[in-house]
Structure 1
Amino acid sequence: MDAENSDDVGDQFAGYLPRVVDAEIERLLRLVPTVVLEGPRGCGKTTSARQFAASEVSLDEVPNARRSALVEPGSILDGDTPRLIDEWQLAPGIWNAVRRASDVRRAAGQFILTGSASPADDITRHSGAGRIGRVRLRPMSLFESGLSDGAVSMKKILDGSAPRAQTTTRTLSEIAEWTVRGGFPQTLGMPADDAQHFLGLYLEEISRVDLARVDGIARDPVRVSRLLQSLARNISTRAALRTLARDTDGADLDPKTVTSYLSALERVFVVEDVPAWSPRMRSRVALRSAPVRQLADPALACAVLRAGPERLLDDLEAFGLLFESLALRDLRVYAEPLRGRIGHYRDETGLEADAIVELSDGAWAAFEVKLGGEQAIEHAATSLTKLAERVAHTVRNRLQALAVITATGGYAYQRPDGVSVIPITALGP
């Protein structure tokens, strides 16, 4: 390690909770010169990167390093490899400096760049193809935080395996507590009310500081706060831009302005909507293309709404939408190392699936998310089987699984109709 790093850096790794993407980071470091690790501020990117780095420099914490990088980006590249450059987007010229160094050195595993904001497109217009691999880190899943035993593997689900597992039965009160606390490493050991206060400050800082760093545009923090409130109220729904605009600043706000704000929030990885999925059907049934609104973690929505565990238990409809957001967060984490994409399905008849996980080879699985209850599970299973029938004539019909993810229950099993029921505390990578 070089002089910028603590002499007792090894102590930082004590108690490190492994992340699902660790294996992908290690793999990419064997394949390409530079790995870019992206995700929301505070989700653990730097800690994860340090598991693989031999030297590091932080542009967020070392002012001299940032000034040097702004003047001469290549000046901070020297050091034992892999060389970690933390919050690289604060000196955007680093992108091209790293790209050139990768060409000169012609070796894998040279640099790890971490960033909590995606810079403007013109900064990365010079391609990193063949030189750079990207990994998305998100707030921790229940499996990563030790709250799911991972007995039902996402990989095996997408291989077509039927789940058979017994896990610890959890109460709705426990699930509500986890939903409010969230998956940010700093909040894992906090009481729910402390976690909410922490995340409220977190969002305030993003609204006032981080968004301006994305593209140099000063945005009204009050409007950002109102937009976040609207997104929180409309979590796991297909709220239109017009709805978000009305909630944010009255009926006169231009939806294009909302689009600009949403784009900035996406670039700091706070907003991660679920796009519509198309099975390339031969049927003439029209598909709905509106995205489902999601934040990076349901706890962010809870913080904005000031909704603690008790409020969730008093409003099961709202709790169900937030639990869906929790499940989507975890599905994304488990799909990342498989290079899987997440979408949602809804057609003009109202038939829908909360999540579709699709791999690059066309294999896919459809999921509905329910808090629990036999009637809710039955309804979800019926929708999933109808979906399977409707896409039977698709060009790429590689359906591997239909599953209902539930909050409670101690068993994962497959019903006679082929639909699996999986407690979220059994789900893993």
Structure 2
Amino acid sequence: MAKKNRSYRKRITDAALQVKLNAFGATLIVGPKGCGKTTTAKQYAKSFIEFQDEDNRDRYLTVAENMPSKLLIGEKPRLFDEWQDAPKIWGAIRKDVDDTGLKGQYILTGSSSQKVDTPHTGTLRISTLKMYPMSLYESGESSGSISLMDLFDGKSIEWEESKLNIDGLIYAICRGGWPQSIDIEDKEAALAIANDLFYQTCHTDVSNISGMKRNPLWTERILRSYSRNICTLADAKTIYADSSSTTEMVRASFYEYFHDLEALHIIDELPAWCPAIRSKEAIRSSNKRNLIDPSIAVAALGLSPEYFNTDFKTLGFLFESLCIRDLRIYSSSMNGEVSYYHDRYGLEADAVLHLKDGRYALIEFKLGSKEIDMGAKHLCEIERLIVEYNKKEKQVPLRLPDLKLVITATEYGYKREDGVYVIPIGCLKD
């Protein structure tokens, strides 16, 4: 019988997992190492098998190899942690779901650093749920006094105040949203979690995921270069040139390492939103560079919270990365997707949050209050261009943005006269 963790911090993923269990026979939770996949799964499982349990590992693996269906016996939902160690369990689950037609029977979790080729896909039987590290709301650093869904539903705000000051924000960026670090009072110890994750990624995981011995120093250089270009549209050749300038890394190897880091859910890029409101040729369509959590970039660059007292430019890019992380987490409970808009004329929206029902928000991220006017101007200009586009394209008009948001690190949240909401990241939730 699975025991519930009484100190468990509720995750936004919880609701999405419940939906998956209601719709599919089995759910596979994926995400970066250390984001809390197993802990969350155990809140829903009524029984579990942990293949990394050394006291029972040999026995479990023998059964899994010879008669995997025997391991399916137990209260449902039944969790299989580190399922990749016993890949035949995938086929057994798939067959059982086919045979019984029952929903919510199994949950699978495991290390993102081990890739398994299964003989059958889990399409319509085993659904995949992506999990992120914790958002500021989940970690308790955002008050959650401003709900994105409430704003979409027409609820306005008059005045909100964030209790998250700039020092607290810098610390949250450097520490990251890793559950293991959230409740550690010793800040140096909490910061060590992301540093260790970076080290393990470069020295162990990148080799495990590929099944080939990877050079840890090359991996470090790629992530360091990538981190210097975080939340920009830097092309791959720029990152390659930067990371290979002092090594003998060939271009083919660079792309292999890059794809390995994507498979580990370390690299997590943002796609472009490409409405032809000027012309197709004007729109930048390459991905915006980003990592699953800004703390990885801080660790890769070898920085500490004190460094940012004199470098707000770098902090601005990392703040954007944190905001994108949180928006992706919040959007998961809203059936939403996050992208960005940028054209060759310099007009941009740092993020575009689309809901499945067609509603969307244009969003800019601004670290300080002096930049709010510029961000609001960009958003209003995009809206104006859509209005002009619709005058010409009346048959297939573009929907006007339902929300225009400037998300900031400042204290106060309010609505401007131009209709743009200014929202502190320390007040935001889904």
Compute the TM-score of the two structures, normalised by the length of structure 1. Answer: 0.91
Shift of 1:225: 1.1
Match of residue 153 from structure 1 = 147
Shift of 1:360: 2.3
Query: 1:152-301 counterparts in 2 under 5 A?
Result: 152-190=146-184, 191-250=186-245, 253-281=249-277, 283-284=279-280, 286-301=282-297
1:35 match: secondary structure: strand
Shift of 1:19: 0.3
Report the Cα distance in structure 2 between the residues aligned to 1:127 and 1:281, rounded to whole angstroms: 40
Choose from 111, 135, 138 the match for 1:141: 135
Amino acid at match of 2:44: F
Match of residue 404 from structure 2 = 402
Aligned-residue Cα RMSD (Å) equals 2.2
Give the direction of change, closer, same or farther, for the CA distance of 1:198–1:280 in structure 2 (3 Å limit). same
Query: 1:297-376 counterparts in 2 under 5 A?
Result: 297-373=293-369, 375-376=370-371
Unmatched tracts of structure 2, length 5 or more? 391-396
**Deviates most, 238-247 or 314-323:** 238-247
Match of residue 419 from structure 1 = 420
% identity of equivalent residues: 36
Choose from 25, 31, 34 the match for 2:23: 31
CA contact (8 A) 2:27 2:106 kept: yes
The count of aligned residue pairs is 418
Q: Map Cα deviations across residues 245-298 of structure 1 (whole Å, 9 max, x no partner).
A: 122222864444322212111111111011111225474552112211111111
Amino acid at match of 1:220: N
Query: Is 1:22 aligned to 2:14, yes or no?
Result: yes
CA contact (8 A) 2:31 2:131 kept: yes
**Deviates most, 170-179 or 378-387:** 170-179
Unmatched tracts of structure 1, length 5 or more? none
Match of residue 42 from structure 2 = 50
Match of residue 96 from structure 1 = 91
**Deviates most, 312-321 or 273-282:** 273-282
Report the Cα distance in structure 2 between the residues aligned to 1:43 and 1:80, rounded to whole angstroms: 26
Match of residue 393 from structure 2 = none
Give the direction of change, closer, same or farther, for the CA distance of 1:126–1:162 in structure 2 (3 Å limit). farther
Shift of 1:14: 1.6
Q: Map Cα deviations across residues 120-171 of structure 1 (whole Å, 9 max, x no partner).
A: 5x83573433323322211100100111121211222333543345233432
2:117 match: secondary structure: helix
CA contact (8 A) 2:91 2:119 kept: no
1:18 match: secondary structure: coil
CA contact (8 A) 1:402 1:419 kept: yes
**Deviates most, 42-51 or 226-235:** 226-235
CA contact (8 A) 1:179 1:298 kept: yes
CA contact (8 A) 1:118 1:214 kept: yes
**Deviates most, 282-291 or 310-319:** 282-291
Match of residue 123 from structure 2 = 129
Give the direction of change, closer, same or farther, for the CA distance of 1:125–1:401 in structure 2 (3 Å limit). farther
Report the Cα distance in structure 2 between the residues aligned to 1:67 and 1:233, rounded to whole angstroms: 47
Report the Cα distance in structure 2 between the residues aligned to 1:68 and 1:268, rounded to whole angstroms: 29
Match of residue 380 from structure 2 = 385
Amino acid at match of 1:380: G
CA contact (8 A) 2:338 2:351 kept: yes
CA contact (8 A) 2:142 2:164 kept: no
Give the direction of change, closer, same or farther, for the CA distance of 1:194–1:303 in structure 2 (3 Å limit). farther
Compute the TM-score of the two structures, normalised by the length of structure 2. Answer: 0.90
Report the Cα distance in structure 2 between the residues aligned to 1:58 and 1:164, rounded to whole angstroms: 50
Choose from 107, 111, 117 the match for 2:112: 117
Amino acid at match of 1:131: R
Give the direction of change, closer, same or farther, for the CA distance of 1:282–1:132 in structure 2 (3 Å limit). farther
CA contact (8 A) 1:58 1:87 kept: yes
Amino acid at match of 1:174: G
